[in-house]
Amino acid sequence: DTGVSQDPRHKITKRGQNVTFRCDPISEHNRLYWYRQTLGQGPEFLTYFQNEAQLEKSRLLSDRFSAERPKGSFSTLEIQRTEQGDSAMYLCASSWDTGGGSPLHFGNGTRLTVT
Amino acid sequence: GENVEQHPSTLSVQEGDSAVIKCTYSDSASNYFPWYKQELGKGPQLIIDIRSNVGEKKDQRIAVTLNKTAKHFSLHITETQPEDSAVYFCAASWSGNQFYFGTGTSLTVIP
């Protein structure tokens, strides 16, 4: 399977702990996106990369969140000092886009539960 | 920023009937409009998309229409089948930058 893979699928953590998620995009894709989805809502944009450059970050994203995409391949999303409100599904998506808009290919997400 | 509204939030249809889901967007600069289907425990999967230079696109039982003047676009599913039951999301984007998603429509096809 050469789709987008995310690890872990589920993560339970105590409030105040740090967590890190990994996303492996489709190998030839240049763009990588992180979204957050809560129950009954659509995906909410967090940030995206073109190759290794982080091009945009949501204003809603607190400074406890950081994302990296070293060498333009896999990406990590870290949440520091987790809060109960961080409980959500974290989705990663990738695309090959040269500026005209291309479909996002999503992984199956990492479900985070903060207790 | 862009605001995408989606209606209805839930939709039940008899197998074989048609289903229509509607979305509106606020930013006239948006030029790419994909639709996604999400099944329980999985990420959204693209089912069809349309660009702003096209008014309608069809792929077998699925069609999308776009009215740029009114800033709305719709998903049409004909001859619905039980396996069409899922949550559907519309989205709007300007050239593949941020994608803004609607709040979803839970479609149930009753056999």
Q: What are the two backbone dihedrals, phi and then psi, of residue B78, each rounded to the nearest 5 degrees?
A: -100, 160
Cα separation, A60 vs A86, whole angstroms: 12
pLDDT value of residue B93? 93
Residues facing A32 on adjacent strands:
A49, A94
> Which residue of chain B has the CA closest to A111?
B41
pLDDT value of residue A81? 97
Cα separation, B42 vs A108, whole angstroms: 5
Averaged pLDDT, A23-37: 95
Mean pLDDT estimate for chain B: 96
Residue among B71, B64, B66, B63 nearest B55 (CA): B66
Instruction: Give the angle subtended at the CA of B93 by the CAs of A32 and A93, to the nearest 5°.
Output: 25
Interchain contact, A42 vs B31, CB within 8 Å: no
**Residues sharing a CB contact under 8 Å with residue B53, sequence separation 6 or more, in sequence order:** B31
Residue among A3, A17, A41 nearest A112 (CA): A17
pLDDT band at A59 (very low <50, low <70, confident <90, very high): confident
Averaged pLDDT, B36-57: 95
pLDDT band at B95 (very low <50, low <70, confident <90, very high): confident
- Does B52 lie at the interface with A, CB-CB under 8 angstroms? no
pLDDT digits over A79-108, tens only?
A: 999 999 999 999 999 999 877 788 999 999
User: Is residue B82 helix, strand or coil?
Assistant: helix
Helix (H) or strand (E) segment spanning residue A22 = strand A19-24
Instruction: Tell me the nearest-neighbour CA distance from A44 into chain B, angstroms.
Output: 7
Cα separation, B88 vs B67, whole angstroms: 20
Interchain contact, B99 vs A91, CB within 8 Å: no
Is it the case that residue A48 has pLDDT exceeding 80? Answer: yes
Interchain contact, A55 vs B31, CB within 8 Å: no
Determine contact, residues B74/B90, Cβ cutoff 8 Å. Answer: no
Determine contact, residues B98/A45, Cβ cutoff 8 Å. Answer: yes
Averaged pLDDT, B16-39: 97
Q: What are the two backbone dihedrals, phi and then psi, of residue B70, each rounded to the nearest 5 degrees?
A: -85, -10
Averaged pLDDT, B61-73: 97
Interchain contact, A42 vs B98, CB within 8 Å: no
Region of B62 on the Ramachandran plot (φ > 0 left; ψ -120 to 50 alpha; else beta): beta
Determine contact, residues A71/A85, Cβ cutoff 8 Å. Answer: no
Cα separation, B11 vs A39, whole angstroms: 18
